[in-house]
């Protein structure tokens, strides 16, 4: 289990570094990220959310009921756009309306070092985009309207004063 970093912590604003070598340290990180994601019942978790600046994310694929690990991810195709409410483990009990692609294809490598190409649609596509944003230091609040920020002003203040 790892501590999930909350809004206001500087590491969430930093761009994660590419993983050059999948060694025991990276495997241990991935294992702990999976345990953390399962224990909090989340659908996605980026490495910088647990304090590590590496380009790794874990996503839960509800359709196939399995966890997906993507190292050094990049979006290679995207289609259709939809607006939906989106939350984040780093922003507990806060939701913003965010426009994202409904279908995305992500390329990266898995924990065995093999190249993978994964298609995501609907919630999984949203998750992929959300986690890649994290790896680039982009947060859901960056998409929020002034009205949404105002609505959550007190919760956001509490997060930043506790971090």
Looking at residue 160, its pLDDT comes to 85
Q: Is residue 139 part of a domain?
A: yes
Q: Provide the 3-class DSSP secondary structure of residue 37.
A: helix
Alpha carbons 46 and 56: distance in angstroms, whole number: 6
Does 82 have pLDDT greater than 90?
A: yes
* pLDDT more than 70, % of the chain: 99
**Known active-site residue 63:** no
Amino acid 163: pLDDT: 58
Rounded Cα–Cα distance for residues 42 and 12 (Å):
17
Q: Which of 131, 146, 147, 154 is catalytic?
A: 131
Cα–Cα distance, 127 to 114 (Å, whole number): 22
The enclosing domain of 142 has a CATH number of 3.90.45.10
How many folded domains does the chain comprise? 1
Which residue in 45, 63, 57 sits closest to 5, CA to CA? 45
Domain holding 42, by residue range, is 10-162
Tokens of 79: 């289609």
Strand order in the sheet with 66-88: 44-46, 56-61, 66-88, 91-109, 115-121
Q: Is residue 1 part of a domain?
A: no
* 3 in any annotated domain: no
pLDDT of 36 strictly over 70: yes
pLDDT at 121 over 90: yes
CB contact at 8 A, 89 and 1: no
pLDDT in tens, 107-120: 999 999 999 999 99
Spatial distance between the Cα atoms of 28 and 83, rounded to a whole number of angstroms: 36
Rounded to whole angstroms, the Cα distance separating 144 from 27 reads 35
Is residue 1 pLDDT above 90, yes or no? no
> Residue 24 falls within a domain, yes or no?
yes
Q: Go through the chain and tell me how many residues it has.
A: 163
Q: Is residue 125 part of a domain?
A: yes
- The answer to whether 79 touches 147, Cβ cutoff 8 Å, is no
Q: Which residues pair with 17 in a beta bridge?
A: 54
């Amino acid at each position: 289990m790892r501590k999930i970093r909350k809004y206001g912590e500087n590491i969430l604003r930093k761009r994660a570094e590419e993983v050059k070598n999948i060694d025991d340290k990276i495997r241990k990180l991935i294992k702990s990220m999976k345990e953390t994601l399962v224990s909090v019942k989340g659908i996605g978790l980026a490495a910088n959310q647990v304090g590590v600046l590496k380009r790794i994310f874990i996503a839960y694929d509800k359709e196939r009921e399995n966890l997906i690990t993507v190292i050094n991810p990049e979006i290679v195709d995207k289609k259709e756009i939809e607006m939906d409410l989106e939350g984040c483990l780093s922003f507990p009990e806060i939701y913003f309306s965010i426009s994202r692609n409904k279908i995305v294809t992500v390329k990266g490598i898995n924990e065995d070092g093999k190249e993978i190409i994964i298609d995501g649609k609907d919630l999984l596509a949203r998750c992929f985009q959300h986690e890649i944003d994290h790896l680039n230091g982009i947060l859901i609040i960056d998409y929020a309207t002034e009205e949404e920020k105002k609505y959550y002003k007190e919760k956001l203040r509490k997060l930043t004063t506790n971090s």
